[in-house]
Structure 1
């Protein structure tokens, strides 16, 4: 096989893998992990079960790949719009976060709660995404990711509170997304002002919404 053929084979493999992950995200959005067998997944994907094992080794490997893909999308949303003013960027970041949770509820719950049972690998992915989101918030507020411990703890407190609010909202949704975004934005504003009081080296942005 020449280099061109190898490249074509690799690209087709990447496309097929991406297609399987996309199918899995749809399936796990509506059905619990335990309720789906590999036979179910293969049938919905229109492929032989062996192909899923080839790419992901196991059902759990497939599930973890789906979670990682979901995390990458969530982090990408949070890190976008870097050139916007702070206030508008915060609004868009929180709205993108809520929009993702609303349209990918099963994936969001998996990311936030740590997956199926006590799954250390999924929890590690969850911890990593929290760290990235905290760093993104710090960068947006202070222009840097490395912040004092007090500031970091306060932002972690806001982040875990935002997760709790979002999870509860997904279960009811009497409020529209705009109202929840405004709530989380105001809570973040209060958090940044508290940080400034306790850690003068981290002044609250004057353009905080």
Structure 2
């Protein structure tokens, strides 16, 4: 006979981490609208009441899984300020594409859910805005005003990047290097079209 039970009680942080990991799999394999808290609890092997103890709603649960993925992505793509802007951009984009390659289904589902759920769309927009600010700070310097045309070009480019990555996931007929080159080229083109040639020069300096 064993001396104790065959299971052990998980602490709060460990249980929550397991649920967040499960969430990435569930929200990848099923549409957001198809999942219920009852189904999630069943998949997790816990009561619905316990699931609500950790997450007050399905949206809160989805946001937690998204936040975990976003933190991982930010850590991977954080620029190295010791490098010239062009190298910072190239390395960050390469890390971003590497992350998408590892989480292709989750990324595609996120884009679909962002179109269905206004709150999730707002979160994605916040991430885009923060990414644009971080990118421009690397080019013009933190705290330096960004010309309106350049701001619009970069924000529009981030939408293009999502579309290009979704196409890459769907067709898988370009290499990662080719996609990265395409993204850099379209950013340069967008900045040039906005009349921000001086920013392009700064971005490509010592490339």
TM-score by length of 2: 0.80
CA distance in 2, matches of 1:169, 1:203: 26
Aligned to 2:86: 87
Q: Deviations over 1:42-76 (max 9, x none)?
A: 34333333221111112222112222332333333
CA distance in 2, matches of 1:188, 1:109: 22
Aligned to 2:126: 128
Question: Displacement of 1:110 after TM fit?
Answer: 4.7
Aligned to 1:6: none
Q: Check the 8 A contact 2:97/2:176 in 1, yes or no.
A: yes
Distance change >3 Å, CA 47–CA 107, structure 1 → 2: same
Structure 2: runs of 5 or more not aligned: 1-9
Aligned to 2:98: 99
Distance change >3 Å, CA 114–CA 76, structure 1 → 2: farther
Distance change >3 Å, CA 114–CA 43, structure 1 → 2: closer
Instruction: Give the counterpart of 2:201 among 190, 201, 204.
Output: 204
For residues 92-171 of structure 1, what are the structure 2 equivalents within 5 Å?
92-113=91-112, 115=114, 117=116, 119-144=117-142, 146-171=145-170
Q: Deviations over 1:100-136 (max 9, x none)?
A: 222223432354455362x221111011001011012
Aligned to 1:27: 26
Residue correspondences, number: 196
Aligned to 1:54: 53
Q: Check the 8 A contact 1:109/1:167 in 2, yes or no.
A: yes
* Larger deviation, residues 167-176 vs 63-72: 63-72
TM-score by length of 1: 0.80
SS of the aligned residue for 1:93 comes to helix
CA RMSD of aligned residues (A): 2.6
SS of the aligned residue for 1:34 comes to helix
